[in-house]
Amino acid sequence: MAKGKYQEWLTPDGVTRLEAWARDGLTDEQLADKIGITATTLYDWKNKYPEISEALKRGKEVVDIEVENALLKRALGYEYTEERVEVSKENGKKSVKTTQTVKHVPPDVTAQIFWLKNRKSAVWRDKQQLEHSGAIGIENPFAGLTTEELRKLAGSDG
């Protein structure tokens, strides 16, 4: 089959490759290039062939979840075990010493801000929208004056 023909991508192997490429983080434009078609054609295929659309969604969903988990982990901070291997030689004898150290990564404020602005945007977004109902409470002291009286006050004869 010629490169870029949709039938090739509806086979089990084709669907698996599309899902894997999406899981690898390729954008729709990059996917289209890999298939040998334009991005517009890929968008058409996604609309016409649910197998293609679903494969790409499944692949992207896995990566999205992994990134969400990594962002949350970074926002909250975490610990990990670092292993160091030291090889030394004494009197012709080789010895290997392994040392494990628990390291702490503190919570990241930038990750916390990003998480909150996206997950709780009504509370944490930069632009707050406030609504006011009712009168402002400032009265116009010139409201009852005629045009002639206003001109006199302004110092104009008119």
In this predicted model, what pLDDT tens digit does every residue of 63-122 receive, in sequence order? 889 989 999 999 999 999 999 999 998 888 899 999 999 999 999 999 999 999 988 888
153 pLDDT band (50/70/90 cuts)?
confident
Tokens of 96: 């290997």
Of 79, 115, 77, which Cα lies nearest the Cα of 100? Answer: 79
**The model's pTM:** 0.54
Of 49, 55, 38, 43, which Cα lies nearest the Cα of 6? Answer: 49
Q: What is the DSSP letter of 10?
A: G
pLDDT at 126 exceeding the cut of 90? no
Q: Rounded to whole angstroms, how far apart are CA atoms 72 and 119?
A: 11
Q: Rounded to whole angstroms, how far apart are CA atoms 30 and 19?
A: 13
Q: Which residue has the tokens 């005629």?
A: 146
User: What pLDDT does 140 receive?
Assistant: 83
Q: Which of residues 2 and 155 earns the better pLDDT score?
A: 155
pLDDT at 2 exceeding the cut of 60? no
pLDDT at 157 exceeding the cut of 70? no
Q: Rounded to whole angstroms, how far apart are CA atoms 22 and 17?
A: 9
> What's the angle, vertex CA 73, arms to CA 67 and CA 78, rounded to 5?
145
User: What pLDDT does 1 receive?
Assistant: 37
Output helix, strand, coil percentages for the chain, rounded to the nearest 5: 55, 15, 30
User: What pLDDT does 158 receive?
Assistant: 54
The average pLDDT across 115-139 equals: 80
Tokens of 78: 């975490």
